[in-house]
Amino acid sequence: MSLWLRSALLLLLIALAGWWLTGATRSTADELPLHTGDVTSGERVFWAGGCASCHASPVDGKRARGEDKLLLGGGLELDTPYGLFRVPNISPHDQDGIGAWSTLDFVNAMRHGVSPRGKHYYPSFPYTSYARMPIEDLIDLEAYLKTLPAVDGRIANHELGFPWSIRRGLGLWKRLYLDDAPVADIDVSNSELVLGQMLVEGAGHCGECHTPRNRLGAMLSDRWLGGAPNPEGKGRIPNITPGSENLAGWSARDLEYYFESGFTPEFDTVGGTMVAVQENLAMLSAEDRAAITAYLKAIPPVE
């Protein structure tokens, strides 16, 4: 065999390996549990996941309020160091939203970051956290989303520079960083901590903003919830571990009341992008807020 032919075969093998490594991993229909979506449970997951905070269509250039939060036509723009991300329409509109999706399509989007056509989603959509959610919760969430108004209008594509614009490369990124294993080591015999971990690490996707990232945009688990640069602009997202200067002196009741009302122990009020998060947390039960608090008090401190 000539040197030229050997070189060509080697290049072909490398190309095939690269194509395989960057491909999409998806669940199959056989992997879905026998579970009928529960709308009431799905509404709870909706608020825990903060779906409206990103996907509700802006009104007069501002984040939606009141009933407008249920109009999930997308359109919010996230200006990041990687480029401009535009949040899509996830209303039950058959053409412009996700109304034509199957349950399997929805689960694959949420757990694997893959579209119904097998296209990778960018992790500006926090499937890296949603992958830790129980599939039953995802099915419930889909059932609730189907009850909301269909909103027409397809959102424009992202605007990203090279190499981030090469979407296929996300397949390799996912092999390195997409993991459905829990982050923090907790006492799994404590049901409240288990619930708190599910809400914080999964649906609540708190780590997406509160955890610093490496140069490729993956969260640094050794500094879990230890504070990070603001992904949408200037300033920093605070440390919310027990090592935080701001939260170390807060009691569990202080935190629960903050989540419920937006007031700090110093009678200050929540501000910035946390306003929307707090409004979502206020829609949860007292038990859910207590579980979130217990988890935040139990994780390792980051100084």
Q: For position 253, which CATH number holds? A: 1.10.760
pLDDT tens digits along 34-75: 999 999 999 999 999 999 998 998 877 777 777 878 899 988
> Is there a single domain that holds both residue 98 and residue 220?
no
Q: Give the mean pLDDT of 190-208.
A: 95
Residue 44 maps to a domain: yes
> Is there a single domain that holds both residue 149 and residue 193?
no
Q: Looking at 127, 160, 181, which one is the last position of a domain? A: 181
φ and ψ at residue 252, rounded to 5 degrees: -60, -40
- Classified as helix, coil or strand, 186 is coil
Residue 17 maps to a domain: no
φ and ψ at residue 300, rounded to 5 degrees: -60, 140
Residue 168 maps to a domain: yes
- Residue/partner pairs of 100-103 with CB below 8 Å, 24 or more apart: 103/32, 103/37, 103/139, 103/142
| Predicted confidence (pLDDT) at residue 2 exceeds the cutoff of 80 | no
What whole-number distance in Å separates Cα of residue 247 and Cα of residue 274? 15
Of the listed ranges 10-14, 62-66, 238-242, 284-288, the one predicted with least confidence: 10-14
> Is there a single domain that holds both residue 172 and residue 296?
no
**CA pseudo-torsion sign 196, 98, 35, 285:** positive
> Is there a single domain that holds both residue 190 and residue 113?
no
H or E stretch covering 154: none
> Is there a single domain that holds both residue 170 and residue 244?
no
Burial of 166 (0-12, 13-18, 19+ CB in 10 A): exposed
User: Do 103 and 142 touch, CB atoms closer than 8 A?
Assistant: yes
- Classified as helix, coil or strand, 205 is coil
How far lies 212's CA from each of 112, 131, 146, 195, 206, in Å? 22, 19, 34, 24, 12
DSSP string, 53-70: HHHSPPBTTB---GGGGG
Q: Give the mean pLDDT of 3-32.
A: 69
Residue 10 maps to a domain: no
Residue 5's pLDDT band (boundaries 50, 70, 90)?
low
What whole-number distance in Å separates Cα of residue 181 and Cα of residue 127? 13
Q: Give the mean pLDDT of 121-133.
A: 94
> Quick one: pLDDT at residue 15?
56
User: Do 240 and 301 touch, CB atoms closer than 8 A?
Assistant: no
> Is there a single domain that holds both residue 213 and residue 284?
yes
Reading the block at residue 293, the tokens are: 């608090």
What whole-number distance in Å separates Cα of residue 180 and Cα of residue 182? 7
**Of 56, 298, 269, which is closest to residue 201 (Cα–Cα)?**
298
User: Do 126 and 217 touch, CB atoms closer than 8 A?
Assistant: no
| Range(s) of the domain holding residue 83 | 26-181
Residue 188's pLDDT band (boundaries 50, 70, 90)?
very high
For the chain, the domain total comes to 2
Reading the block at residue 116, the tokens are: 């119904």
- Classified as helix, coil or strand, 83 is strand
| Predicted confidence (pLDDT) at residue 200 exceeds the cutoff of 60 | yes
User: Do 295 and 194 touch, CB atoms closer than 8 A?
Assistant: no
> Is there a single domain that holds both residue 258 and residue 288?
yes
> Quick one: pLDDT at residue 67?
83
Residue 162 maps to a domain: yes
> Is there a single domain that holds both residue 58 and residue 153?
yes
> Is there a single domain that holds both residue 46 and residue 112?
yes
Residue 11 maps to a domain: no
Average pLDDT, the chain: 88
Measured from the Cβ of residue 99, the count of other Cβ atoms closer than 10 Å reads 15
| Predicted confidence (pLDDT) at residue 19 exceeds the cutoff of 60 | no
User: Do 131 and 180 touch, CB atoms closer than 8 A?
Assistant: yes
What whole-number distance in Å separates Cα of residue 269 and Cα of residue 146? 34
> Is there a single domain that holds both residue 86 and residue 170?
yes
pLDDT tens digits along 226-283: 988 887 667 788 899 998 887 778 999 999 999 999 998 888 888 777 888 999 999 9
User: Do 120 and 195 touch, CB atoms closer than 8 A?
Assistant: no
